Structure 1
Amino acid sequence: MATNEVLTRVNDPEWLRGFDNLVKSDIPSWFRTMKWWAQFLWVFFMTNVIISFTFIGGEFDIAVMLFTVFQGLYPVFGILIAMQGTMIGEKNSGTAAWVLSKPVSRTGFILAKFVNNTLASTLFIIILPGIIGYLEITLMAGLEISFFGFILGNCLLWLHMMFFLTMSLLVGTIFNNRRAVLIVGITFFVIEMLLQGMVPADLMVSTLAFPSPNISLAEALITGQSVFSIWPILIAIVSCVVFVILAIWRFKQEEF
Structure 2
Amino acid sequence: MEIVNRVSRMMAISAKAAAEGGKSGLVSTMGAIHPGHLSLIQTARQMTDLVVVSIFVNRLQFLTDDEYRQYPRDITKDVDILGQANVDYIFTPPEEEMYPSGFSTYVDVERFGSKLPGIYQRIYYRGMTTSVLKMLHIVRPAFLFFGQKDHLQGAILRKMMRDLNINTEVVVRPVVRDASGLAYAARNYFLTPAQMSAASVIYRSLQAAEAAIRRGELRAKKIIREITDVIASEPQATLEYAVIADPDNLEPLSKIQKSALVGVAVRIGETSLNDSLLIEDRE
* TM-score scaled by length of structure 2: 0.26
Highest RCO, 1 vs 2 (Cα 8 Å, sep ≥ 6): 1
More helix as a share of residues? 1
More strand as a share of residues? 2
